Chain A
Amino acid sequence: TQLLEQSPQFLSIQEGENLTVYCNSSSVFSSLQWYRQEPGEGPVLLVTVVTGGEVKKLKRLTFQFGDARKDSSLHITAAQTGDTGLYLCASGSDEKLTFGTGTRLTIIP
């Protein structure tokens, strides 16, 4: 079973700062997804990365997939209070996802 480790587990920063969270695996990802979950809601898909070395941008969010497809990072520029939430990486196939341990991000106004 593939294990996905995310770091840091908790992160609290001031609005306007930049941050990076990480997702690492002991084995190669077939593809990797990043989700954000807000309190009282289910996870919402942010992006899917498939190719090693791939970089995708979603407004102030930049997602990078490692060349060896065993790690990924999410960088947020100029964080806003609306970025607060639980960030989860996930990988899998056939509608069976394995989720990472999550990074709980709090943006302080």
Chain B
Amino acid sequence: KAGVTQTPRYLIKTRGQQVTLSCSPISGHRSVSWYQQTPGQGLQFLFEYFSETQRNKGNFPGRFSGRQFSNSRSEMNVSTLELGDSALYLCASSVPGTGTDTQYFGPGTRLTVL
């Protein structure tokens, strides 16, 4: 079974631009979570989608948004990019309701904001 895929793997943007990142979950997984990883703050939860609905949200500004499609694929969008948004963005998929909270992570998208 194919793992979680994320595109693109690397991205360079300038301040003020917006960016869209994509995540394709493992087949059969219906939950997709997004995380931001930086050297200073570590891995932080952004939001989680299940059945096209946002169920959980972390403590990030409204510039960060996401959505999920009917095939469980998910996108996240960051508008008005700031230098501090430079990070590795990870998505993870899981099968909710199994009680194990097991998430499978993709390789991430490395975003650099200049």
Q: How far is the CA of A46 from the CA of B44 in the complex (A)?
A: 19
Q: Is residue A40 contacting chain B, with contact meaning CB distance below 8 A?
A: yes
Grouping DSSP codes into helix (H, G, I), strand (E, B) and loop, the B interface class, with mixed when no group exceeds half, is: strand
Which one of B42, B56, B102 contacts A45 once the chains associate, using CB atoms below 8 Å? B102
Given contacts A31-B101, A48-B102, A102-B42, contact A94 B56 (CB under 8 A): yes
Interface window among B11-19, B60-68, B71-79, B88-96: B88-96
Total interface residues on B, CB under 8 Å, equals 26
Provide the bound-state CA to CA distance between A2 and B55, in Å.
19
Contacts of A40 in B (CB 8 A): 107-108
Q: Is B100 an interface residue (CB 8 A)?
A: yes
- With CB as the reference atom, state the residue of chain A lying closest to B56: A96
Binding site for B on A (CB under 8 A): 31, 33, 40-45, 48, 88, 90, 92-102
